[in-house]
Amino acid sequence: MASLTKATRSFLVNRHRETSIFTLHLKIYPINTFLCEVGPLVSDTVESGLLKELDLAILDKIDLWESNFEEEDMLQRAQNIDNFFSIYPIVLHCLTRLSLYNVRIDKLDMHHLLLESCKQLKHLGLSRCDTGDHSLFTIDAPNSKLCVLELTNCRFERLELVCLPKLEKLRWDTWVSHNVPLTFDFIPSLRELEFVYDATFGQRELKLSELLHGTTCIHTLTLDFVGENRQWYPERRTPHWEMHFGGSKNSLLKELEFIGFRSLQHQFTFIRSILERAPNMQRIVLKGDEQCENCDALDTPPRLSKFPKKNEEQEIVVKRIRDGIFSTQIFFDE
């Protein structure tokens, strides 16, 4: 750690005034006094005008998919991070991207710290974070410049996006809520949604209309089913949609990426239901199963694939999806 601190000091301190750093990517573990040692170096560099943008990731050595959430550790990490930004507030002025791991963010003044003080923050990633056991997390930041929000295995019962006018992309990898995990209010710039749905956490079946309720301009929707027995609603031959997609605001979806595709009737019904409600759909990408890192680490043999590989099989799939009505381009990516 001492050698890393020395290298950071050498890089940041020994700079000529006529040179500057446009973007600094910094990944650190809050070990011992490292944050306090790096803090003044970065702070001085920002204050001198030599650093324009900071991409900061405060890491944790714990497995992101570990099921046990150690409350004391998460609280302590939140306190350390809060102290760091309180002591060196100028760092917030050039922070454009921030990634936090294993943190109780309700113990941070999230709106003030990240969405008000960080006036340049455009990308926020939260991994294995929560606001207490299965509690609500609300974001209401009308002046925020946040464009991308990524959540990974966060223990929120529900995420309420009240106001994020610049948000363009939301990615949520695995949630633990037993109900609809998020709601949208005023998110006018949202164009891209990506959901990874892992039913091993015991969620009930969800309707796509519930996840999309409140969105108006989605053009790219990515769904990852993470396995053969984990299915997305609807599964019936005649799915019932409670949301009306008739207006022009709901016809902007142009691309659908479907991960975990197999030639099953309920999947064909699901895709055709989207096509009926998305007249501007231009492209559908069908992908096979993706083996996760945990399976790779265990050297688990891949399951027998049901993904259509042969030309004849793919032609049948295309005909069943288009059903003589649609002309959307369909691509296969195993």
Tell me the per-residue pLDDT of 258-276, one tens digit each, with 9 for 90 and over.
Answer: 988 888 888 888 898 888 8
Assess whether pLDDT exceeds 80 at residue 329. yes
pLDDT of 124: 95
Q: Are residues 61 and 173 in the same domain?
A: yes
> Do the Cβ atoms of 125 and 153 come closer than 8 Å?
no
Q: Which residues pair with 130 in a beta bridge?
A: 104
Pair 156, 197 in one domain: no
Band of residue 100 on the pLDDT scale cut at 50, 70, 90:
very high
- The pLDDT value recorded for residue 42 is 83
Q: What is the strand order of the sheet 220-224 is part of?
A: 21-28, 51-58, 95-101, 123-127, 148-154, 169-175, 192-196, 220-224, 255-259, 283-287, 329-333
Q: Does one domain contain both 213 and 288?
A: yes
Higher pLDDT, 48 or 298: 48
Run of H or E residues at 63 = none
Domain termination site, one of 156, 190, 224: 190
Residue 234 has pLDDT above 70, yes or no: no
- Cα–Cα nearest to 58, from 24, 103, 122, 93: 103
21 vs 204, higher pLDDT? 21
Calpha distance 8→29 (Å, rounded): 14
Tell me the pairing of strands 135-140 and 156-163.
parallel
Residues 55 and 180 reside in one and the same domain: yes
**pLDDT value of residue 242:** 45
From the list 243, 239, 181, the residue with the least C-alpha distance to 218 is 243
Question: Is the confidence at residue 31, as pLDDT, over 50?
Answer: yes
Query: Residue range 87-114: average pLDDT?
Result: 83
Strand order in the sheet with 156-163: 135-140, 156-163, 182-186
Q: What is the pLDDT of residue 204?
A: 57
The b-or-e profile of 298-327 (16+ CB within 10 A means b, else e) is eeeeeeeeebbeeeeebeebbeebeeeebe
State yes or no: pLDDT of 64 exceeds 90.
Answer: no
**Structural domain harbouring 294:** 193-334
Q: Which residues of 104-142 are buried (b: 16+ CB within 10 A; e: fewer)?
A: bbbbbebeebbbebbeebbbbbbbbbbbbeeeebbbebe
Residues 245-268 have a mean pLDDT of 76
What band does 249 get if pLDDT is binned at 50, 70 and 90? very low
More reliable by pLDDT, 58 or 16: 58
Nearest to 193 by CA among 165, 212, 166, 174: 212
Strands, DSSP E only, in the chain? Answer: 21-28, 51-58, 95-101, 123-127, 135-140, 148-154, 156-163, 169-175, 182-186, 192-196, 220-224, 255-259, 283-287, 329-333
- The most confident of 11-20, 82-91, 112-121, by mean pLDDT: 82-91
Whole-number pLDDT of residue 119: 86
Please indicate, yes or no, whether residues 186 and 270 belong to a single structural domain of this protein.
no
Of 137, 172, 190, which residue is a domain's last? 190
Whole-number pLDDT of residue 237: 45
Quick one: pLDDT at residue 228? 44
Asked whether residue 218 falls in the same domain as residue 326, the answer is yes
Q: Tell me what the mean pLDDT of segment 16-34 comes to.
A: 73
Label residues 22-34 b or e (16+ Cβ within 10 Å = b): eebeeebebeeeb
- Separation between Cα atoms, residue 2 and residue 72, nearest integer Å: 27
- Domains in the chain: how many in total? 2
Same domain, 291 and 201: yes
Residues 236 and 155 in one domain: no
Are 225 and 82 in the same domain? no
What does the pLDDT read at residue 332? 93
d(CA 17, CA 22) in angstroms, rounded, equals 14
Whether residue 292 is predicted with pLDDT greater than 90 in this model: the reply is no
**Do 133 and 114 share a structural domain?**
yes
> Do 200 and 135 fall within a single domain?
no
Domain boundary among 140, 169, 190: 190
DSSP string, 244-296: ---SGGG----EEEEES--S-HHHHHHHHHHHHH-TT--EEEEE-----HHHH
Q: What percentage of the chain reaches a pLDDT higher than 90? A: 20
Categorize the per-residue pLDDT at 32 as very low, low, confident or very high, splitting at 50, 70 and 90. Answer: low
Amino acid at 177: S
Instruction: Provide mean pLDDT across the span 95-105.
Output: 91
Ranking 23-32, 80-89, 105-114, 147-156 by mean pLDDT, the lowest is 105-114
User: 177 with 286, same domain?
Assistant: no
* Mean residue pLDDT across the chain: 79
Indicate whether this model's pTM tops 0.85.
no
pLDDT of residue 233: 46
